[in-house]
Amino acid sequence: MTLVMGAVAYDPKVVTIWAGFRAWFARQGLDVDFVLYSHYERQVDDLAAGRVDVAWNSPLAWVRARRMAGERLEPLAMRDTDQDLTSVVVVREDSPYKDVADLKGETVGTGAIDSPQATLLPSALLREHGLRPGEEVAVRRFDVGVGLHGDHVGGERAAARAMMSGDVAAACMVDSSHLLFVREGTLPPGGTRVIGRTRPYDHCTMTAARATPETDRFRDLLLSMDASDPDVRTLFDLEGLTAWRPARTSGYALLERAVDDEGFYDAAGAITAPGYRP
C-alpha cells in the first residue's frame, strides 16, 4: 500500500523537500507519495474526506480539520521548531509607544488574513489589551499568499516595511520573522522594539486522517530521522528543523479561541471569515 501525504506548495523548495523525504522513506521500506496543494483549505477538505492519508498541516489547518473530522484525526509529529513559538508587536525604536495599549487610535500592520502568527494571534493580543481591531485600533492587513496560512512571510515583511516607513505605527509577526528581518536588512539592527508578545503556541503538525499501521510506521520513521545523516540534514535544513517530535495539541488553544473570536471558521469547520478567498 502507498501512503499518500498532502503538502502545500508555499515555496518551490517544497518539491525538493518531499521528494527527498519520499526517497528516504523508500530506503526504509515504506512506500510514500505526496500530493501538492495550492492552499490549505483544499488539503483539509481532502484529509477530512480520506482522500489523502496524512497531511502536513498548518496550525490553522489543524483547527479546521479537527472541527471537520473530530476525534478520527490522529496527530503524528511536529518539528522541534514548531513548539512554543510567540508572536510579537514591533514598533520603531524612536516611536513613543511603550505598551500595546498605547496603540489606541493608531494603525497596526498585520500579515495575511489567514496567518495565525501575524494576524489571528496578534489580533487576539490586541483584544486582550482592550483594543478591538477596527474599533479602538485600525488594522492594515498585507494579504500576501492568501491560502497559505502565513507560511509565506511576505505579508509580515510588508507590514515590517510599512512600520519602518511610518505608514503604520506597529507591525505584527512571529518572533523568528523579527529576527530574520533584522538579519536580511528589512529592519535595521537596533532600530525596533517589541512592545507586546503572545503566550507560547505551537505551529505545524503532521496529521493522519485516521490511525492505521501505515500511518504509525510513517510517524515512527519520522521520529527516527537523525540529523547526523547528511541526506537527512540537508532536508532538515530546508524544512527548518533539527528533529521531529511527537505531536501535541495543547499548543493550539490560543488559536482555537482566536478563530472563534474572529469568526474565521464555524464549529463544523465551514469557512466564515469575511473576504477570505484562498
pLDDT digits (tens, 9 = 90+) for 134-181: 999 999 999 999 999 999 999 999 999 999 999 999 999 999 999 999
CB atoms within 10 A of CB 129: 17
Low-confidence stretches of the chain (pLDDT < 50) are: none
pLDDT at 12: 95
Contact 198, 121 (CB under 8 A): yes
Residue 108 pairs in a beta bridge with: 139, 170
> Comparing C-alpha atoms, which of 223, 253, 228, 255 is closest to residue 80?
223
pLDDT at 55: 98
pTM for this predicted structure: 0.96
**Cell output for 247:** 505531536
Q: How many angstroms from the chain centroid is the CA of residue 131?
A: 24
CB under 8 Å to 219, separation ≥6 — which residues? 76, 77, 206, 208
The bridge status of strand 192-197 relative to strand 107-110 is unpaired
> Comparing C-alpha atoms, which of 82, 79, 102 is closest to residue 92?
102
Distances (CA, A) of 133 to 103, 124, 136, 185: 11, 9, 7, 29
Packing angle of the helix pair 253-262, 59-69 (nearest 10 deg): 80
pLDDT at 271: 98
In degrees and rounded to multiples of 5, residue 190 shows phi and psi of 75, 5
**Cell output for 260:** 472563534
pLDDT at 146: 98
pLDDT at 97: 98
Interior angle at CA 252, CA 107 and CA 227, nearest 5: 105
Residue 267: how many CA atoms within 13 Å on its side-chain side? 0
pLDDT at 23: 98
